[in-house]
DNA sequence: AATGAATGAGTGTTCATTCAT
DNA sequence: AATGAATGAACACTCATTCAT
């Protein structure tokens, strides 16, 4: 089987896993993924070493999608800190909205996905994350904002952390949504993307003008 | 059984759960908690409706411990934004270090703990979180920084989100630690508390002076 | 649960396992054993650590049954070697016939049962086998044949080995039985118990008179 | 494909299976055998009908190797029973040592290999074993010991049975070996080949002089 | 003939929870 | 109130075998 074909098949499985995950917000069983992808259970293991590897791959894939939007974006930011912060925060929220499974998946990474993952796989995963972060930081520091590499890394790491944390703070299961209108839960009644955008903008302004 | 007695027994179970969780970084089994607390397995269910409720209660308890330090702290902050940001960020990191199980537990909340939790319990849990946030915000806005209630809530919510996200980004399983010294993982080789402190200070300065 | 109760329940499970094994000549599934014993699958694990442990226990139990007949028998053997060999060989074949699952199970010990068994359990198992052998050897050397302990051990170990090997050589699946009448398979067309008895008698005579 | 070619390829597969089995003492997977033989997995099934057939063939092959040494040996035995027994027992142990996979494989025959084997194949296998036994018996009875055909068959069948049983009684997994020095396991702490040689000699003497 | 991608049956084990005592 | 024996649902993974190419 050629590498291309493998990539196609893997992507199909990932797509099946993505859809199931988006619906249930839980890790679907391998049987469910296989069925959704129209292959036999055993075939899943031709492409992924374990169930966890599937979702780690999905997480990476989604993260890469995010970066694919972010990297050109940060590279083209203006030299004006406030305008740059504004532009980035909007672009960022928009990019996040396009990979809806990213944050729920990332929120499971530490507690669920990394269990049962061989050290080597986990290392490789984390290294690719780090490289992605580096790449984005490189693009950011190559722009007109005059950030050094380390400053760019710090800013992006904190941006991502804030995002992930906000998602967890503001994500409410469907059944709780109606109650968000009533005090005291109304403090959490925010549109996630607006909140991300706002808080990221503030953080960037603070960093760039501080 | 009197309410006081119930409270004592619940606290003993929580303490057992806390210790086991701190050691293993995984949700201990109900059997393990019962044994550690010196009671029979079935007795756990006289105090908690499910395994998840134990850890939700533990999370709340730990969160309350954090607030117990934060609330007086924010109330006494100086009017000078930079000094206030500096003081808070240090106090905050210190307070976090005193409840080491808080962040690992909070990181599991969305993906693990909230499964299997009846809506009513979950609602109550979230409401108490919201109330705690409100209380801290009240203390913060009552201080000399001149923040409105909503501004205080926003700032604290973002602070907590940033913290939780950073913890997840920087937490590495023991086996991966050695590799943190080598590129590209070295971008993650930070002391969590220093990083929290720094990033929170920047966020506060940005917010207060923005 | 008292030790007595545990013993009773374990024995019921063993009995269920024994019956299923005798019928199918294959290791039944845990589910099948549980069902046959009238308990839930999980309950099996209250008494046995793994599937293999069930059958190791069954093997031990059957072996103990054999020894329970053999030990008094060897103790009372006459001083006359030929008569003793004759008496023992008959008693032995009779005793074997009373634990029909013993040899099929023993034949699986090396290749199947000992897989997946923790070293400690396996050690304990082998030690009890050794002790049983020692006990029988003690009874034999205490009799009138004038055998030393080591001679008795050797003789019994060889007797058992010959038995186990003969069983494997002469055991034929049901579907092959009809073909045993036809050359060249007719060399295997022997009654196992007669063959055991004969060959053991010869071995004993050779040893005792050699 | 000519019969010769088929024979060569089969032998290569058997050799691969033999080596893998000798190393792991477990039945290697078909994939492993194919890889070790340098062919594709599916190709194995051009030569063998099932995995079990491979090992049945290997067992036959190894058994034939044993016979190839034994048959000339028994033919040339002296007329003196004790000397003959001595000579045979040494030759036999030596021959066994040259086919180290034979006994582990034979020990699996009843419980593992014969599952999943079509009756016809099994019949053919058993018939060839019987023929081999007959051939050896013929050689033995043609010698100077004056044994009848049936006596020779009996003696050889019992010799083989004793050997197989002893192997199973004395074979200990690597992890248990250290414990063999300590009572009560020390009764099993024997060199297999010495034990086989001794016990076979005794059996032969008993049979030939009885 | 040779391949190797695809299959899918088969099962031991855990553990939160219940409930009779 | 307290126990702990009993439950049984849930599921990843392997690997012998097939068959289209």
Question: Cβ contacts (< 8 Å) between A114 and chain B: which residues?
Answer: 173
d(C-alpha B40, C-alpha B49), whole Å: 15
Determine the pLDDT at residue D210: 74
Q: A49-85 burial string, b = 16+ CB within 10 Å, else e?
A: eebbbbbbbbbbbbbeebbebbbebbeebeeebeebb
Cα–Cα distances (Å) from C123 to A11, A37, C61, C106, D164, in that order, read 49, 48, 16, 16, 22
- Mean pLDDT rounded to a whole number for chain D: 96
Supply B50's token pair.
């499910």
Determine the pLDDT at residue C210: 74
Is residue A117 over pLDDT 80?
A: yes
Is residue B20 over pLDDT 80?
A: yes
Residues above pLDDT 70, as percent of chain A: 100
pLDDT-derived band of residue A1, with 50, 70 and 90 as boundaries?
A: confident
Of chain A residues 161-190, which have a CB less than 8 A from chain B? 161-166, 168-169, 171-173, 175-176, 179, 184-185, 187-188
- Mean pLDDT rounded to a whole number for chain A: 96
Residues above pLDDT 90, as percent of chain B: 97
Determine the pLDDT at residue A40: 97
- Cβ contacts of B192 within 8 Å, gap of 6 or more: B166, B167, B170, B171
Count of Cβ atoms closer than 10 Å to residue C49 Cβ: 11
d(C-alpha A61, C-alpha A56), whole Å: 8
CB contact under 8 A, B112 and A112: yes
Residues above pLDDT 70, as percent of chain B: 100
CA C122 to chain centre: 17
Is residue B210 over pLDDT 80?
A: no
Give strand letter and number of the nucleotide nearest C37 (CA to C1'): F6
**Across B4-33, average pLDDT:** 97
**Residue A77 dihedral angles phi and psi, to the nearest 5°:** -65, 150
CA D112 to chain centre: 16
**Across D43-47, average pLDDT:** 98
Angle at C43 between CA C41 and CA C46, to 5 degrees: 135
pLDDT-derived band of residue D10, with 50, 70 and 90 as boundaries?
A: very high
Is residue D1 over pLDDT 90?
A: no
pLDDT-derived band of residue B156, with 50, 70 and 90 as boundaries?
A: very high
CB contact under 8 A, D184 and C134: yes
Cis peptide before C191 (omega within 30 of 0): no
Identify the CA nearest to D173 among candidates B125, C119, B106.
Answer: C119
* Regions of chain C with pLDDT less than 50: none
Identify how many contiguous H helices and E strands chain D contains and give both numbers: 9, 0
pLDDT tens column, A41-98: 999 999 999 999 999 999 999 999 999 999 999 999 999 999 999 999 999 999 999 9
Q: Could you tell me if residue A72 is left (phi over 0), alpha (psi between -120 and 50 degrees) or otherwise beta?
A: alpha
Q: Are C108 and C21 in contact (CB under 8 A)?
A: no
- Cβ contacts of A125 within 8 Å, gap of 6 or more: A56, A60, A117
pLDDT-derived band of residue B147, with 50, 70 and 90 as boundaries?
A: very high
Q: Are B204 and B81 in contact (CB under 8 A)?
A: yes
The DSSP-derived string for chain B is --HHHHHHHHHHHHHHHHHHHHHHSS---HHHHHHHHTS-HHHHTTT-SSHHHHHHHHHHHHHHHHHHHHHHHHHT--S-HHHHHHHHHHHHHHHHHT-TTHHHHHHHIIIIITTT--HHHHHHHHHHHHHHHHHHHHHHHHSTT---HHHHHHHHHHHHHHHHHHHHHH---GGGGGGGGSTTGGGG---HHHHHHHHHHHHHHHHHH-
**Across B164-187, average pLDDT:** 96
Give the 3-state secondary structure of D126-160.
Answer: HHHHHHHHHHHHHHHHHCCCCCCHHHHHHHHHHHH
CB proximity A64–strand E (7 Å threshold): no
Angle at A171 between CA A169 and CA A173, to 5 degrees: 135
CB proximity B116–strand E (7 Å threshold): yes
Determine the pLDDT at residue A91: 98
Strand F bases contacted by the protein (CB, 7 Å)? 1-20
Strand E bases contacted by the protein (CB, 7 Å)? 1-20
**Across D101-113, average pLDDT:** 96
Q: Are B196 and B160 in contact (CB under 8 A)?
A: no
**Across A144-152, average pLDDT:** 97
Is residue A210 over pLDDT 90?
A: no
A127 CA, F17 C1': separation in Å? 39
Identify how many contiguous H helices and E strands chain C contains and give both numbers: 9, 0
Tell me which protein residue sits closest to nucleotide F14, measuring alpha carbon to C1': A42
User: Which of D127, D130, D203 lies at the smallest CB-CB distance from C203?
Assistant: D203
pLDDT tens column, D131-142: 999 999 999 999
Cα–Cα distances (Å) from C138 to A16, C41, C128, C205, in that order, read 68, 42, 15, 19
Q: Position of tokens 């290392």? A: A123
CB contact under 8 A, C165 and D169: no
Determine the pLDDT at residue B6: 93
Q: Is residue B179 packed enough to be buried (19+ CB in 10 Å), middle (13-18) or exposed (0-12)?
A: middle
pLDDT-derived band of residue B1, with 50, 70 and 90 as boundaries?
A: confident
pLDDT tens column, B30-87: 999 999 999 999 999 999 999 999 999 999 999 999 999 999 999 999 999 999 999 9
d(C-alpha C150, C-alpha C177), whole Å: 40
**Across A174-190, average pLDDT:** 95
Q: Which of B104-108, B140-144, C149-153, C205-209 has the lowest mean pLDDT?
A: C205-209
Determine the pLDDT at residue A8: 96
d(C-alpha A103, C-alpha D168), whole Å: 58
Domains, chain A: 1-48 (1.10.10), 52-209 (1.10.357.10)
Q: For residue A154, give the H/E element and its range.
A: helix A149-170
Determine the pLDDT at residue C103: 98
User: Which of C108, C158, C207 lies at the smallest CB-CB distance from D111?
Assistant: C108
C130 CA, F8 C1': separation in Å? 39
CB proximity B29–strand E (7 Å threshold): yes
- Residue C204: closest C-alpha in chain D: D206
């Amino acid at each position: 089987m050629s590498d291309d074909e493998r990539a196609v098949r893997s992507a199909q499985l990932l797509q099946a896993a993505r859809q199931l995950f988006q619906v249930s917000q839980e890790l679907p069983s391998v049987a469910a993924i296989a069925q959704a992808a129209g292959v036999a259970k055993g075939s899943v293991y031709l492409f992924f070493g374990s169930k966890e590897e599937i979702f780690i791959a999905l997480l990476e894939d989604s993260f890469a999608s995010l970066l694919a939007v972010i990297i050109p974006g940060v590279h083209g930011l203006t030299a004006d800190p406030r305008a740059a912060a504004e532009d980035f925060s909007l672009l960022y929220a928009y990019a996040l909205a396009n990979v809806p499974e990213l944050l729920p998946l990332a929120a499971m990474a530490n507690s669920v996905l990394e269990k049962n993952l061989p050290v080597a796989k986990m290392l490789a995963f984390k290294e690719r994350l780090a490289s992605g972060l580096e790449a984005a930081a490189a693009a950011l520091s190559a722009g007109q904002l005059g950030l050094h590499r380390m400053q760019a890394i710090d800013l992006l790491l904190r941006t991502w952390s804030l995002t992930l944390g906000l998602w967890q703070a503001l994500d409410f299961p469907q059944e709780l949504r109606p109650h968000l209108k009533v005090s005291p839960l109304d403090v959490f009644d925010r549109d996630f993307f607006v909140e991300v955008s706002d808080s990221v903008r503030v953080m960037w302004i603070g960093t760039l003008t501080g």
